[in-house]
Structure 1
Amino acid sequence: MSLRSQVISLYKTLLYLGREYPSGYDFFRKRLHNAFLKNKDVKDPDKIEKMIAHGQYIVRELEALYKLKKYRTLKRRYYN
């Protein structure tokens, strides 16, 4: 997979995960867009790979955040 397609895939994944962000989708989308625009001129493949790895870390953190939110909601619903 080329670096460009990895970056696009990461962007789409983050946009999808941003739908349930606690501060709202618009807030998340603006911040995500600005972060990608800030790094649009980077040409070094090693640096791009590091940024992709960091983005994948953010994806895992968001998934953990959503799972924790779901767990807490279920716990509140069924237990005192």
Structure 2
Amino acid sequence: MANPLRSEVVRLYKNLLYLGREYPKGGDYFRDRLRAAFTKNKSVQDPEQIKAMIARGEYVARELEALYYLRKYRAMKKRYYEDRPEKNS
């Protein structure tokens, strides 16, 4: 009997794998850590525990997205203000 939450877990894994490509320490580092985390918890059968882990994984995905937006914003700000001359009062 297949677990009904399996599709959610697979979707979360794929989403995190996609987000991990731009991870600051490298995509390979992130992929290895992600695989280890999912492998460690593959024997969990309780649906409530699985839902809690899915929620935690979605939180991590949102945090990664925020990290990438912040990095993008900082890079744009640096480029924009880098060439501006200082005003002397």
Aligned residues: 79
Runs of 4+ in 1 over 3 A off after TM superposition: none
Gaps of 5+ in 1: none
Identity across the alignment (%): 65
**Structure ranking higher in helix proportion:** 1
Gaps of 5+ in 2: 83-89
> Normalized against structure 1, the TM-score is what?
0.97
- Which amino acid in 1 is paired with 2:67? L
SS in 1 for 2:70: helix
- Higher RCO (C-alpha under 8 Å, 6+ residues apart): 1
TM-superposed CA distance for 1:26, in Å, is: 0.4
Work out which of the two has the higher radius of gyration on C-alpha atoms and give 1 or 2: 2
* 1:32 maps onto 2:50 in alignment: no
